[in-house]
Chains A and B, each alone.
Chain A
């Protein structure tokens, strides 16, 4: 450990960082230390006859192992070297900091604690694609099992676990799908910054998230997650050891989102280029910032809900146990106070990406920048006041259903403004039908269907029937998958040339688009019908009367699956062998297109000065 004491930043000559400990740490050392910590924690907290009356022994040991794995991994990859130096009154040397930025280290830097925002962006992108692939694979298994009535393909236990794992994997992936890759890679360049406000925290947010992935996967080997992604208590307290993986995943993930959210908001507030006033900030940056800013107050309640689930499971505290004065409604509140803002955390960046894309491809200014801001702000503001519409039928206080119905339906007004901005921008233009632009039209349709069905569900008498049915599942897939994911994929097609230096393969991209979008409509039209007919969600088996609607759904799901496999192939193939992209293939005016590929370490040779917003397209502008 001599290297830790090596020198202060003032010494000359600057020591060779190759002697520093940080050069020796990477994902491999992280894994080793993490696994050692996990086993050590399991051993320390192992089932013990002396405390058998106080704890649920197995839950205690497993939770400890999972959380210590995360800490151990972060120590092993070197995340805490900087803070440790602060404790002894020092910091990383300038050369060490430069080393951490990863310049010139090739592919290796993607497996290290790297502070360059572009590296973190790529790490997020690959991570998200892997999570979506796994979550999508589980969706295919679910739909395959539901192809015919009776549930013969998969047993009830595995099926329930699939539903829970698919749900939480997709929710985590969707929360980071836009702000992770594009918020980290593109956004700092877009605002003319040299990096994020806190580059080391940026690396931390990714690697913390990374440690959650094996924890979540461990659920498969511990009996699965039988509760769905909502993990309602008391079912979650009753559930087997796999539930610990869910609890630990959320605890870890909440730290990651807090760190990332703080970093993104600080960056946008403090690091914009000279002259980039608030009314000149690109709309994607506004949407992404509102999204992460909304996550900052939302996720701690989920974390709290999980802390209480953990203590209920380990110490029998009984927060959610009615037998000792607790209440399952407490969990439902804490969960949905996070849960409803969270859907807008997912949705806003997707819509903001499309608003960024639209002006470029119709060569017109963004229609009513102010309406876009009001739309985002209105949604973000109202979204914290609507959570109990998920609890209309829980019976906790029927008299409050009315007020929550009012706030929920009010969201349709700012949502309408987002439509107005998108439509106003394409109106009287000639849209250039490249892949990103196709995404805009798909999202207009999908968000419209998701929005209208959302109005039915927000209405108490209608929800009395539809709640907990397949109709709800179809509704939120239209908003989260049809709108937010399609928006993010459009963003990938749009920024692919900047992030990889190559163009996304167009024929494969178009094929993937039509397969996924047509399949998507078939899939969820079938599910809407099944829900309207009265099929509950999360059921392994259903009656013969829902046969046709489910068959349609499964057929659609296979089309979506084929589409995403083609898209994945297109991304991998184009990344390796695609046509070399020009610096600004779309003729866009935002700052990220003014830098070459590969983007240099601190993005700009000269700090840019902004004199107008980036939407000066059109005649006479």
Chain B
């Protein structure tokens, strides 16, 4: 093969080197790295800062997903924005159309690689989500025996809580720490959505139809209970508070309210 031929058909290695010598490619890469960093910082620093205290296993899993998905998507977002930013730096000014660009109609390998890579990222997200969902479902089954059962009743526009095993009723949500809890949620009128914010779970309250969610509180502290489904005039005010307390405190609370420890 002559030198002349080599110039016409460079080896793949040579082609890669030539590609990275192009200033537009270098600039796009630089912007890609910068944008990726922005998203990584967003995921690692800002999300945990914005979200309320993690007080249950579900809230922990939710936080993991928010951070994890942000970091996974950071390089993709970085690449998209990197290319776009590079294009902006190369813009054409004036009132006449720019000179013709290269007449590239498609690039088979790029389309294939792009599709496969986005498919892989999608698969990671799907598998992660399914594993988390299954873990929760399994935990709900295995821990059901030891759990505290709470009947949550939504009505326009108050929440009330019954502890059937303990024989207590309350308008505040009191829970013992590190013990699984099962919420049986029902509505007396229209749809509501039971949302103990710091516990990271939520389920709709439907008329005559019990819905169930499960979690394990892992941290002492206050809980905000809200309604997350527009339920009429005073939807915004359909909130109450609650507390995750030590087992002793919880038992005390039960007995002072006329119940029995179970």
Contact = CB atoms under 8 A, between A and B. Distances in A.
Interface in A356-414: 360-371, 393-395, 398, 401-402, 405-406, 409-410, 412-413
Nearest to B190: A235
B203 interface: yes
Interface in A303-336: 322-323, 327-329
A499 to B, nearest CB: 21
Interface stretch (A187-195, A261-269, A448-456, A565-573): A448-456
A230 B133 CA distance: 27
Contacts, number: 293
Interface stretch (B93-101, B163-171, B244-252): B93-101
A458 to B, nearest CB: 8
Interface stretch (A38-46, A346-354, A415-423, A516-524): A415-423
Interface string B98-110: 1111111111001
Given A461-B62, A619-B102, A151 B90 contact: no
A465 B207 contact: no
A404 to B, nearest CB: 11
A230 B87 CA distance: 40
A32 to B, nearest CB: 38
A602 interface: no
Contact of A432 (B98, B201, B224, B231): B98
Contact of A363 (B66, B101, B203): B101
Contacts of A464: 58, 62, 200-202, 213
A368 B105 contact: yes
Given A395-B212, A456-B66, A461 B129 contact: yes
Interface stretch (B3-11, B46-54, B174-182): B46-54
Contacts of A469: 228
A406 B125 CA distance: 9
Interface string A415-456: 011011001101111111100000001001100100010011
Nearest to A374: B115
B51 A532 contact: yes
Given A444-B84, A455-B69, A431 B92 contact: yes
Contact of A371 (B87, B93, B111): B111
A446 to B, nearest CB: 12
A240 to B, nearest CB: 11
Interface in A62-113: none
B80 interface: yes
Interface residues of B, number: 89
Interface stretch (A9-17, A116-124, A539-547): A539-547
A459 interface: yes
A430 B90 CA distance: 6
Interface stretch (B142-150, B233-241, B254-262): B233-241
Contact of A533 (B52, B90, B119, B227): B52
Contact of A462 (B24, B50, B66, B134): B66
A363 B104 contact: no
A163 B121 CA distance: 36
Nearest to A163: B230
Contact of A393 (B105, B111, B193): B193
A586 interface: yes
A413 B122 contact: yes
Given A430-B92, A460-B133, A532-B47, A365 B107 contact: no
A416 B50 contact: no
B50 A533 contact: yes
* A151, A227, A428 pick with most chain B CB within 10 angstroms: A428
Given A156-B234, A428-B24, A464-B202, A459 B65 contact: yes
A426 B87 contact: yes
A460 B136 CA distance: 11
B197 A461 contact: no
A424 B28 CA distance: 13
A416 B136 CA distance: 30
A296 B262 CA distance: 57
B106 A586 contact: no
B58 A461 contact: yes
Contacts of A529: 50
B221 to A, nearest CB: 14
B200 A364 contact: no
A23 interface: no
A160 B107 contact: no
A238 B84 contact: no
Contacts of A542: 236
Contacts of A541: 236-237
Most buried by A among B137, B191, B193, B230: B230
A135 interface: no
B41 interface: no
B80 to A, nearest CB: 6
Contact of A428 (B58, B69, B104, B224): B104
Given A413-B118, A428-B102, A462-B62, A448 B236 contact: no
B22 to A, nearest CB: 9
Contacts of A367: 104-107
Interface in B157-216: 185, 189-191, 193, 195, 197-198, 200-204, 206-209, 211-213
A232 B88 contact: no
B113 to A, nearest CB: 10
A413 B73 contact: no
> Which of B62, B70, B110: most chain A CB closer than 10 A?
B62
Given A160-B235, A235-B231, A412-B121, A430 B51 contact: no
A199 interface: no
B99 A409 contact: no
A360 B209 CA distance: 57
Contact of A364 (B104, B118, B191): B104
A586 B106 CA distance: 23
A478 to B, nearest CB: 13
B83 A426 contact: yes
Contacts of B97: 360-361, 363, 432, 586-587
B207 A420 contact: no
Contacts of A156: 233-237
Interface of B: 24, 47, 50-52, 58-59, 61-62, 65-66, 69-70, 73, 76-77, 80-81, 83-84, 87-88, 90-94, 97-107, 110-111, 114-115, 118-119, 121-122, 125-126, 128-130, 132-134, 136-137, 185, 189-191, 193, 195, 197-198, 200-204, 206-209, 211-213, 224, 226-237
Interface of A: 151, 156-157, 160, 163, 226-228, 230, 232, 234-235, 238, 322-323, 327-329, 360-371, 393-395, 398, 401-402, 405-406, 409-410, 412-413, 416-417, 419-420, 423-424, 426-433, 441, 444-445, 448, 452, 455-456, 458-462, 464-465, 467-469, 529, 532-534, 536-543, 586-587, 615-621
Closest 5 CB pairs of A and B: A395-B211, A618-B103, A468-B228, A539-B236, A416-B118
5 contacts: A361-B97, A370-B106, A402-B133, A532-B47, A621-B103
Given A423-B84, A444-B81, 15 more contacts: A232-B190, A235-B190, A394-B204, A394-B211, A410-B126, A424-B106, A426-B87, A432-B97, A433-B91, A445-B84, A467-B228, A468-B195, A532-B47, A534-B51, A586-B97
